[in-house]
Structure 1
Amino acid sequence: MSIVRNILAIIFTFSLMIILLISSVDIVAYHIPGYYRYEYTKYSSHDRVGMDMDELLRVSGEMMAYLKGKRESLSDISAKIKNQPDVLFFNEKEAAHMKDVRELFIAAIFIRRILLAICILIPAIIKFSRGSLRKVMPKNLLAGSCIFLTLLLCVGGIIASNFSKYFVVFHHIFFNNDLWILDPATDNLINIVPEGFFLDTARNIAAIYLIFVVGIIVFSTVLIRHSAK
């Protein structure tokens, strides 16, 4: 039975690590105050598309709501662009690409919910089987967290060595079309979120995830030492 409990603890740990990764993306995308204003200012995104900053932030808010499934379409979003009122912001190609991105976001949200249920259920199963959570969970949390920390550092180092290359690789992995290849001359989307925006975002996601994982390592280490006394 102890082998089964350890397997369950490993599943719990890996589920938690994935939850924290998805949550890190969610935090950067939705919960850092002023993040988009800062990034748009850094890359002069509002000037690139010829928009007022507040107007661009409004459009961005609609776009992010769409990605979470809180808006049905992007094709009806209009804005004042280059002093022209009521100009549709997204063309057909951009809207089609963002539909693909939306599917990824919604899938990630669904996966996180499933994994949360698993993380709630597994401790209950271990406890119900008269196992000791303090004996089973901390050591597996520590081992799993260290594995994910190592992976994070290795993958992060590889991506950082040539972000442009791996940015393209990412798109080839997650999209089965070329809609993501946008033209700054015709597509607003690439002008408001250039490659530098995604580099900054990837760094922030990695930093938040690193804090989460290190926190789990410290927490599990404290529990192990406390149980040993």
Structure 2
Amino acid sequence: MRDRLIFTSLILWGIAAAVSLTLLLAVPLFYIDIHLENLTQISGLSAEVLRHNFNVLMTYLVNPFEGVLQMPDFPSSPDALQHFKDVKKLFMLALGLTLVLSPALILFLKEHLAILYHNGLRFVMGTPLFIGLVAALIGFDNFFIYFHEIFFRDDTWLFNPDTDPIINVLTENYFMFTFILFVVLFELIFFLLYWSGNKRLQKKIFGKTEQ
């Protein structure tokens, strides 16, 4: 029971940690996307201005002491501000869980539970790949809609470009890139855990054989 609780906590930690790492990399990813999708031409703003506004947005989303969002060059409707507030709560939850559940990672490694949950780790690694396959089959736009319908109670995430022009530069491709980044980071975290367990298991088996 205790080991199962540690493993469950580890899964939650892995999800939260992957989200947290994605948040850290979301900024440079947007900087790259400015050039990839020619966002300066779409928005009529310079790359420097776009970077500054995005930094303001991300500071609001990840800083618990930043209570007001006011991007200097992008007005926001009340619905958009409410949505960003809801997103901030989810991000705060992810960052908090990464810290609070970190002992689960320590215990998992210290007690070599990767050996016990060898197959469980493989299943965990397969889950986001399956979700990614579903997203590819139904189209990322439909996946994006379903995702928001699951995690948000209302339709404030449906931005109007006229009242919330930020949506013109937060493109579908950008969100797809961040989703792919999350999956890669998630897979990397659990692959390393699986690899450590596999290495320990082989050492245990070969050790018994030599005896």
Question: What is the TM-score with the length of structure 1 in the denominator?
Answer: 0.79
Quick check: 1:65–1:71 contact (8 Å CA) kept in 2? yes
1:164 alignment counterpart: 141
**Where in structure 1 are there 5+ consecutive unaligned residues?**
1-6, 80-87, 128-132
Aligned: 1:201 with 2:201: no
2:124 alignment counterpart: 148
Quick check: 1:184–1:190 contact (8 Å CA) kept in 2? yes
1:67 alignment counterpart: 61
**Residue type matched to 2:101 in 1?**
L
Q: After superposition, what is the alpha-carbon deviation per residue over 1:44-94, rounded to whole angstroms, capped at 9, x for unaligned?
A: 23332221111111111111111112422113x313xxxxxxxx5333332
Aligned: 1:184 with 2:179: no
1:4 alignment counterpart: none
Aligned: 1:46 with 2:40: yes
Aligned: 1:99 with 2:85: yes
Q: After superposition, what is the alpha-carbon deviation per residue over 1:176-220, rounded to whole angstroms, capped at 9, x for unaligned?
A: 111101122332221111111111111111112112222221110
- Measured in 2, the distance between the counterparts of 1:171 and 1:30 equals 21
- Measured in 1, the distance between the counterparts of 2:202 and 2:19 equals 32
Give the fraction of aligned pairs with identical amino acids, expressed as a percent. Answer: 20
**Residue type matched to 2:197 in 1?**
S
**Residue type matched to 1:14 in 2?**
T
Tell me which of 114, 119, 122 is aligned to 1:138. 114
Quick check: 1:142–1:217 contact (8 Å CA) kept in 2? yes
2:15 alignment counterpart: 21
Question: What is the TM-score with the length of structure 2 in the denominator?
Answer: 0.85
Look at both structures and tell me which one has the larger radius of gyration over its CA atoms.
1
**Residue type matched to 1:73 in 2?**
V
Helix, strand or coil for the counterpart of 1:155? helix
CA-based RMSD of the aligned residues comes to 2.3
**Where in structure 2 are there 5+ consecutive unaligned residues?**
none
Quick check: 2:129–2:183 contact (8 Å CA) kept in 1? no
1:58 alignment counterpart: 52
Helix, strand or coil for the counterpart of 2:94? helix
